[in-house]
Amino acid sequence: MEKQRITLLGSTGSIGVQTLDVARFRGLSVDAIGFGSDIQKGEEQIRAFSPRFCAVADEKAAWELKTRVKDTNVKIYAGSHGICDMIADSASDVCLNAISGFAGLLPTMAALSSCRRLALANKETLVAAGEIVMKTAADKGCEIIPVDSEHSAIFQCLQAGKKREVKKLILTCSGGAFFGYTKEQLRSVTREQALGHPTWNMGAKITVDCASLMNKGLEVIEAMHLFSLPPEQIQVVIHRESIIHSMVEYLDNTVVAQLGVSDMRMPIGYALSYPDRAPLPGEALDFAKLGKLTFFRPDTDTFPLLSLAVRSAGRGGIIPCAMNAANEEAVRLFLDGKIGFTDIFTVVEEVTDGYADQASPTLSDILSVNEEARERVREKVR
């Protein structure tokens, strides 16, 4: 796999930058990059990695970048449709999708048609349209390898047994910035506090999701689709140190776990090199230094979004998409200082519960539910 060409989406974000680090270390060829609007970082990446293609979702930023890099050979694409066009034109061996949020869905669909492998960090893609994405992947013969650390861990642990021998998946969860807080304490937490994650350094949206435990809820739905298991067979356990990245329990009560330091370059590197393993920068685990590992049951009474996500997973159809959209909009409003932290809980629950079940949605149903649920959040907040 070492000579593979990579299309990297979300190249300027936390996962994107760490993917480039892995590519640099392993001498991989980055053929195409895509991002939202950060052309400063984008230009640096073009000069450092010489991709043939670059797509910028913000059209104005794309035109400015085009002027800035006219001394290079890179072809610039503009707009969301430009990202999908670029994926088709570059037709790389592997597309790593690390765009944040629902905006990653159409690029995921484009990658499934043009690439042999989709290394998927963008979990919102599977939450909103899991059935469609998994079916398209099967129809097109594109393999999806998870980049999310828990799912990468489970993917690795599943190699120890057969699918029918699996009793349950155990997703570990750091507990986020507000582990141990009471409902009362949560009411007055600030944006800055929510952005302080104990073990991982990530983009703003996912960091807030970790603080609310919604991230773990999204991951239950992600696991359900990736490994085709019902939510009842997916358990969440709080593990503050983020050393065990997740586990699989088999029929004989054997539990297989995957461990490592908290470094996303490990799951990124594995998604690129699978089925092989290849060296990576960074540290290995030092057990004597670790001392002990701790585990707790999640407090779903104080953090209700985890239960909401599990309920939504059970309802299926358009519901996880509505919940995801409401959450993205509520988190955006929280980050903009328009609503408080626990308002995210209230508004996401109300908007999700306001939807009636609708099974087997089409992609166009998913796109409209996404828009409409966001509008319902904005209306409530107004």
- Contact characters 216-245, Mg ion, x per CB under 5 A: ------------------------------
279: left (phi over 0), alpha (psi -120 to 50) or beta: beta
Q: Which of 231, 306, 272 is nearest to 3 (CA)?
A: 272
Q: Tell me which of Mg ion, ligand NDP, none is bound by residue 100, counting a contact when its beta carbon lies within the kind-specific cut-off of 5 to 8 angstroms.
A: ligand NDP
Instruction: Based on the shown chain and the rule CB under 6 A, indicate whether residue 249 belongs to the binding site for ligand NDP.
Output: no
Among 10, 146, 298, 320, binds ligand NDP (CB under 6 A): 10
Q: ∠ at Cα 225 (223, 229), nearest 5°?
A: 75
First to last CA, the chain: 51
Count of residues engaged in binding Mg ion, rule: CB under 5 A: 3
For 159-210, the three-class secondary structure string (H helix, E strand, C coil) is: HHCCHHHEEEEEEEECCCCCCCCCHHHHCCCCHHHHCCCCCCCCCHHHHHHH
Instruction: Decide: 113 and 138 in contact? Cβ < 8 Å.
Output: no
Among 161, 198, 203, 282, binds ligand NDP (CB under 6 A): 203
- Contact characters 275-314, Mg ion, x per CB under 5 A: ----------------------------------------
CB of 64 to ligand NDP, least distance (A): 13
Among 6, 15, 78, 321, binds ligand NDP (CB under 6 A): 15
Span 74-93, contacts to ligand NDP by CB under 6 A? 83
Among 124, 222, 249, 328, binds ligand NDP (CB under 6 A): 124
Span 96-115, contacts to ligand NDP by CB under 6 A? 98-100, 103
| Cα 311 to Cα 231: distance, rounded to the nearest angstrom | 9
Here the tokens at position 252 are: 């004989």
| DSSP-derived secondary structure for 327-374 | HHHHHHHHHTTSS-HHHHHHHHHHHHHTSPP--S--HHHHHHHHHHHH
Q: Tell me which of ligand NDP, Mg ion, none is bound by residue 10, counting a contact when its beta carbon lies within the kind-specific cut-off of 5 to 8 angstroms.
A: ligand NDP
Closer CB to ligand NDP, 87 or 380, in the complex: 87
Among 38, 124, 148, 329, binds Mg ion (CB under 5 A): 148
Closer CB to Mg ion, 94 or 120, in the complex: 120
| Cα 158 to Cα 287: distance, rounded to the nearest angstrom | 24
CB of 124 to ligand NDP, least distance (A): 5
Q: Tell me which of Mg ion, ligand NDP, none is bound by residue 150, counting a contact when its beta carbon lies within the kind-specific cut-off of 5 to 8 angstroms.
A: Mg ion
CB of 149 to ligand NDP, least distance (A): 6
Stretch that binds Mg ion, among 142-150, 222-230, 231-239, 291-299 (CB under 5 A): 142-150
> Residue 347: CB partners within 8 Å, gap ≥ 6?
326, 330, 339, 377, 380, 381
Q: Tell me which of Mg ion, ligand NDP, none is bound by residue 282, counting a contact when its beta carbon lies within the kind-specific cut-off of 5 to 8 angstroms.
A: none
Q: Which residues make up the interface to Mg ion (CB under 5 A)?
A: 148-150
